[in-house]
Amino acid sequence: MKLGPAWRICYPACAKSSSPRVKISIIIPAYNEERLLGESLRHVRDALAGFSDRGWDVELVVCDNNSTDRTGDIAREAGAKVVFEPVNQIGRARNSGAAVATGDWLLFIDADSHPSRALMDDVAAEIAGGKCLAGGTTMRMETGSFWARLGTGLWNRISRLRRLMAGAFIFVEAAAFREVGGFNTEFFAGEELDLSLRLKVIAKRLGKRMVILHRHPLLTSDRKLHLYSQWELFWFMVKAGFSPRRVMRSREDCHPWYDGRR
């Protein structure tokens, strides 16, 4: 794709590494994200030196997931290739973005998250090492509230122990992603956990590994803590704890992702 000025990266002549040429497709699913998308894209752009210093190519794909605001316009103004997905579902949006991506590796980033240059450096090192099939990263939220620290701390421990990827930041070899069929669209939340489990099978077969990076956690929005009451979030966690597969397959139960509150 032809990237706008903000997305042009160094050519191989200015690369600091002789690692093989790789193309990275950054895929951002976005539903009514006009308030946060522009700032997130600026952070992604600033972090791209982790790839451009190696002479790698980058393309940006934003999936406008049936937004009713200026999400698509903001993405196009930033130089992204925009694909429209009419069915409002996170897994479908990610799959639609991946369907038009042309990279050797796919990097899924949520529209309310801010990756750092250091995190991208770590991703590039894993890809260049040749032993990694897919990976994610630990998280940190914008605020340091008790509940934010508790929730992210618990998730980070589980993620690293079980090698489960958080949907906000996933990098995966494109061929492996397509072999497993992408994200399972039966899920309205938790689809990244299902993907993690299926990729583990391929990684084991190929003698590769899945990694959860932790030196430079991804900064992500804590907006759900402000948009929903403690009771709403607690009740969702209770239902998900008792019947995770049923809850994750129900749009109604997963309303914090789909009710449009922003």
Q: What is the pLDDT of residue 21?
A: 84
Q: Residue 143: its pLDDT value, please? A: 74
Q: Say if 255 falls within a structural domain.
A: no
54 in a domain, yes or no? yes
Task: Between 111 and 143, name the one with better pLDDT.
Answer: 111
Task: Report if residue 256 sits inside a domain.
Answer: no
Whether 1 has a pLDDT exceeding 50, the answer reads: no
Does residue 94 lie in a domain region? Answer: yes
Q: Which long-range contacts (CB under 8 A, 24 or more apart) does 87-90 make?
A: 88/31, 88/258, 89/65, 89/185, 89/188, 89/251, 89/258, 90/29, 90/65, 90/167, 90/183, 90/188, 90/189, 90/191, 90/257
Q: What pLDDT digit, counting tens, does each position of 121-166 carry?
A: 999 999 999 999 999 999 998 776 777 788 899 999 999 999 999 9
Determine the structural domain holding residue 153 and report its residue range: 5-224
Asked if residue 250 is part of any domain, the answer here is: no
Average pLDDT of 9-15? 36
Q: H or E element: which one contains 211?
A: strand 209-220
CATH number at residue 96: 3.90.550.10
Asked if the structure places residue 260 within a domain, the reply is: no
Whether 253 maps to a domain, the answer reads no
For residue 101, which amino acid is it? Answer: A
Q: Does residue 150 contact residue 141 with C-beta atoms inside 8 Å?
A: no
Number of domains present in the structure of the chain: 1
Q: What's the pTM?
A: 0.90
Domain membership flag for residue 248: no
